[in-house]
Every structure is written in structure tokens, then in C-alpha cells.
Amino acid sequence: MNEDIRLAIVVNPALPIGLVANTVSAISVGLGARLPQLAGQTLADRDGRAIDTSSRQPVPILAADAEMIGALLRRALGRSDDRAIVPFPAFARSLHDYREYEAAFPSRDLSQEAIDGLGLAGPSKWVRSLTGSLKLLR
């Protein structure tokens, strides 16, 4: 991936604060797994104490309702090596074992699902074209 990368996480502000935090954190893990170059570096202080770094890029958390997030997802979809698209469908919240989610996913139609959050990472122009009109979550 080149250096022209931008990240954004869009979340439904109508969710309770704990679900907002859970949605953002789950999406963040997905973005990092898909594009490990976003983080994964180790740094050490002058005394040799090593830590793992957080994101190498800013990660704005933006607000949009479920309908807008679904529309963004539909516009963003399309597999590409230089992009990450990580949705958090609302139905996932009722499943407490990833294997259940994995089994249920193929029978779902994402275009018909409520989406609580969406993570995007990729070329700046692409991410901006999708999220440029959204406000920061407050």
C-alpha cells in the first residue's frame, strides 16, 4: 500500500455510548487485520521498554445514521487490494460467538441489513469521496 492512505470509522450516534465504543473497537481490529501496515510497529523508550504502537494514521470517528451508513457501504463495496471495508451489521450484536456470525453471514443481504458502523481505509481520494460530508462524532 502506498503512503496516500486515509482511514475513517463511521458510527451511528443513536447507539448507547457502550455500543458506540464496542462498534468502533471491533471495526478498528478489522481494519488493522486487513491492513497490518496501519500499525504493528514496536517502539522502545530510552530504557529499552518496548511497546506496540497504535495507528500510524489519524482515525476520525464520524457520525451517520444507519440508513446513511448502509448507503456508504453499498457505494464502497468492491474488493481491492488497496482498500479495507469493515462493516458492523446490527445483527452481529446478538451473536456472542464469531462462529455463529460466520455461519449466519452467507444467508444475509448486507444491502438490507442495518449497519451500526463502517470502517474504511484506502486511497485518500476514495475515503474522502465517501465520508467528506460527514461530521465528527460528538
pLDDT at 1: 45
Name residues of the chain where pLDDT drops below 50: 1
Region of residue 41 (left: phi > 0; alpha: psi -120 to 50; beta: else) = beta
**Three-state SS annotation for 77-116:** CCCCCCCEEEEEEHHHHHCCCHHHHHHHHHHCCHHHCCEE
Grid cell 530504557 — which residue? 47
CB 66 within 8 A of CB 114: yes
Region of residue 122 (left: phi > 0; alpha: psi -120 to 50; beta: else) = left
Q: What length is written for the chain?
A: 138
Instruction: Give the global pTM.
Output: 0.91
Half-sphere exposure of 29 toward its Cβ, with a 13 Å CA cutoff? Answer: 6
pLDDT at 2: 53
Taking the C-alpha atoms of residue 101 and residue 124, their distance in angstroms, rounded to an integer, is 31
pLDDT tens digits, one per residue of 74-85: 999 987 888 999
Half-sphere exposure of 58 toward its Cβ, with a 13 Å CA cutoff? Answer: 6
